Chain A
Amino acid sequence: MKLDRRSFIKLMAMNSAATAAATLFPGVSFGAWSTTEMASGGILWKKTPCRFCGTGCSLLVGVSGDRAVAVKGDPNCTVNKGLCCVKGYHSIQILYGKDRIQKALVRKNGKMVEVPVAEALDLVARKMQETIQVHGKDAVAMYGSGQWSITDGYVASKLFKGCIGTNNVEANARLCMASAVTGCITTFGLDEPMGCYEDIEKADVFVTWGNNMAEMHPVLFSRMLATRKNRTHVKIIDFATRTTRSSLAADRSILFRPQTDLAVANAICYEIIRNGWVNWDFVNKHVSFHKGKTNIGYGTEDHFKFKDKAETVDFNALKLFLKDYTPENVEKISGVPAKDIKYLAALYGDPDKKVTSFWTMGMNQHTRGTWINNLVYNIHLLTGKISSPGNSPFSLTGQPSACGTVREVGTLTHKLPHGVVMNPDHRKMAARIWDVPVENIDPKPTYHTVEMFRALDRGDIRFMWIQVTNPMVTMPNLRRYRDGAEKEGRFVVVSEIYPTPTSDIADVILPSALWIEREGFFGNSERRTQHNEQIVPMPGETVSNTWQIMEVARKMGFEKQFPWSEETYIEDIWNEYIQFHDSPKHRMAPFKVLKERSGVQWPYVNGMETKWRYNAKYDPACKQKDFDFYGKKDHRAWIWLRPYEPPAESPDSEYPFWLNTGRVLEHWHTGSMTRRVPILHKAMPESYVEINPDDAARMGITNGSDVKISSRRGSLVMKAMINGRGNPPRGMVFVPFFDEKYLINEVTLDAFCPISKQPDYKKCAVKLERA
């Protein structure tokens, strides 16, 4: 495309005005401004959501010929308003790694051999049929991802649950936000946050619970910092188990001992009640009180089962329950000074302050993940600080479509695109839309993720298809699951873009098209669905994950359920999928609208997005005045009495340190994409173990020296980092998991929240030795 000087000047004029508007009116959108007019220097700019985290930044990708050559933030998107983080700016380089998988590979006589994609897909279909014939339908499984495009997850669910009739569909989002789901479901009856990112400009106080937003959600963090700069009374409180970049930028950093956030949340509620800060008008009209089972276990044994049972109680029961959680008592458990607990309670309790709580993995990867989600909701419900601008309890997702593909499409064993497999009405709806007999859909959930890999190890599952995820790096207690996957009589298919430890164990590797090489959708943390068109051609013989599943389904005889053509299948699937959500509580935007805009929030009703759910002023699904928590039959949000219970494993004399694992700014999860981006790799070339300086001095460990980390499950040697970007307290170490050379998950424990089944990657006991 040619651009003359005058057009360039006009483009700059338009950009300047849009930037000025975004500064003056955060969130302003100029949807009518066509990005295709923004050509410069022969580059055509196309919109797409970012490939990485759950923030859902919209990018403009510059294309020259067939190649993506540049990235800039999309000024039309209210999420990032033209900003990107370092991963976003370099995101297109993930397309062009030298070792990109471009052909199908099949294991023959122990060696991976290139074959045509059609032949590999034939083999996948045949192996699946043979396995079903010999071992039954529940011997085949699909393990997907919160990085799946919405259509990938949808066709996977349709094939496995609707056509084959097994509920063996899971996704790696089980490892990152299942507790957020069960937290929402148990408190509100419906999943996903009630608020939106506009809360960032409206809140007076931010409390981040175990959440290093400066590295994990940098664009949202910068919006928070901008709010504090523009409105000087705004405070950011970092409540965490280790000091991070977020702590350093916060107004106050409060550290607590691992797992004791449960006790502190209860102590905040205690203080709110003791000081008379309960919003009685809200509580009387919109809240009910419940308690569940206690001493609920940790799921470390195979076939672990747990079902909670809710008992209705009243406010007095809550008050009585909280009497053990005085700030002074909780100081002893948590290490948080009573005055800091009172300070937090005063912030939440002040009727003149709007408070937003953000959390991510600290609360969700927790053996009581559902409980701590419930408890933070309790704080917001007692004070009535919820579902209104600036008042928002908000779980941020880590993956670009953990919400869109996993939570909304329902790619978990118990879920359907609308509702759950256990509900006969939900099964009927699915059978009608999928055009399958209702009897096909099994009413019993099978395996959640950890149990699915245990089943593969035991031999209950014999065939597993893994797409867009790298479980041979990410599974906790990894050695058991890798050994299990490599056992005789297992058949593993991996759809991938680069070689990984997971593709190393595959019998078939299918070459996948990546992100903007195919059309698709993501759904971000704030209920925003984002469409991307195919921007560059698919390299080699790569195909989209959606198309791979459809082809296999057809080869297995399900042509009727997957009739779509290559030209229109993404739009056709979207049109089928949105029938599941056709109500004011969850209506999705039509394809045409999504194509035009940089994301649209659901519920999308009468051409309007819903920014704050459950609030009659903003949410057309409300039937009551002011607030209506319509997800629950009693139309009330539930406050839960949830106690502090210790973690599955704590430091002892043999293993005296806590191990905490997580991510870093530069790398995306297991690093299979970002380690192939030279600038990101150079910025953070390998993993390390963060050690507190006092511990290091005591043990004679110096910066950069080798340290052996061991647990009851495994060990590894890596370099020490002392006074790096993060600093754990004494008695804790932190290891990022992005580097496949250092498989820290051979050390972690596969304990999980008994309600959400999400593993706890933040707490297990290890010892350190100089290596």
Chain B
Amino acid sequence: MPVFSYLAYPEQGAKEQLLKDLSELRYCEITPAQNEELLILLTDTPDEDSEKQLQKKLKALDSLQSLGMAFGHMDD
């Protein structure tokens, strides 16, 4: 049951689109910064397979420039 948090950087001018794209993904909670081109992405997946699937979907997002991990936890 992995929990991760990231700073999600949108492509230029794509903050709103990234917010929309991430909101449509399962296991994702998003908190946009009010005054910066930045979002916090919190992922909470039930197992490793779901986590891998989610990672693939994240990599495929055009609106996402990069992710910087801030926190990671996986149960033994």
Contacts and interface: CB of A to CB of B under 8 A. Distances in A.
A657 B48 CA distance: 74
A304 interface: no
Nearest to A25: B36
A89 interface: no
B25 interface: no
A6 B31 CA distance: 19
Query: Which of A13, A19, A20, A24 counts the most chain B CB atoms within 10 A?
Result: A13
Contacts of B5: 13-14, 16-17
Using C-beta atoms within 8 Å of the partner chain, give the interface range for chain B. 20 to 34
A80 to B, nearest CB: 16
B7 interface: yes
B71 A16 contact: yes
Contacts of B29: 10
Contacts of A662: none
B73 to A, nearest CB: 5
A13 B73 CA distance: 8
A17 B68 CA distance: 9
A601 to B, nearest CB: 12
A581 B1 CA distance: 53
Contacts, number: 68
Contacts of A655: none
A200 B44 CA distance: 37
Interface string A23-63: 01101111111000000000000000000000000000000
A25 B5 CA distance: 17
B3 A6 contact: yes
Given A13-B73, A17-B6, A28 B32 contact: no
Nearest to B4: A13
Contact of A28 (B1, B35, B41, B73): B35
B38 A14 contact: no
B40 to A, nearest CB: 4
A213 to B, nearest CB: 25
A21 interface: yes
A20 B70 contact: yes
A27 B6 CA distance: 18
Contact of B71 (A17, A24, A29, A30): A17
B40 A25 contact: no
B69 to A, nearest CB: 9
A28 B70 contact: no
A12 B71 CA distance: 8
A543 interface: no
Interface string B1-15: 101111100000000
A9 interface: yes
B73 A17 contact: no
Interface string A551-570: 00000000000000000000
Contact of B73 (A9, A18, A27): A9
Nearest to A597: B34
B31 A13 contact: no
Contacts of B64: none
A9 B35 contact: no
Interface in B21-41: 29, 31-36, 38, 40-41
Contact of B40 (A6, A12, A17): A17
A20 B33 contact: no
A33 B71 contact: no
Contacts of A33: 31, 40
B18 interface: no
Contacts of B3: 6, 9-10, 13
B70 A30 contact: no
A30 B70 CA distance: 16
Contacts of A13: 3-5, 42, 70-71, 73
Given A9-B73, A12-B71, A30-B40, A17 B35 contact: no
B32 to A, nearest CB: 7
A78 B33 CA distance: 12
A29 B40 CA distance: 11
A16 B72 CA distance: 10
Contacts of A28: 33, 35-36, 38
Nearest to B37: A25
B7 A24 contact: yes
A14 B40 contact: yes
B70 A27 contact: no
Given A9-B3, A30-B40, 8 more contacts: A6-B44, A10-B42, A13-B73, A14-B31, A21-B7, A21-B70, A32-B31, A32-B34
Interface of B: 1, 3-7, 29, 31-36, 38, 40-42, 44, 68, 70-71, 73
The 7 closest A-B pairs by CB, nearest first: A13-B5, A16-B71, A17-B5, A17-B70, A13-B71, A20-B70, A17-B40
26 contacts: A6-B1, A9-B73, A10-B29, A10-B44, A13-B5, A13-B71, A16-B5, A16-B70, A16-B71, A17-B40, A17-B42, A18-B40, A20-B7, A20-B70, A21-B33, A25-B36, A25-B38, A27-B35, A28-B33, A29-B35, A30-B33, A30-B34, A30-B40, A33-B31, A33-B40, A78-B35
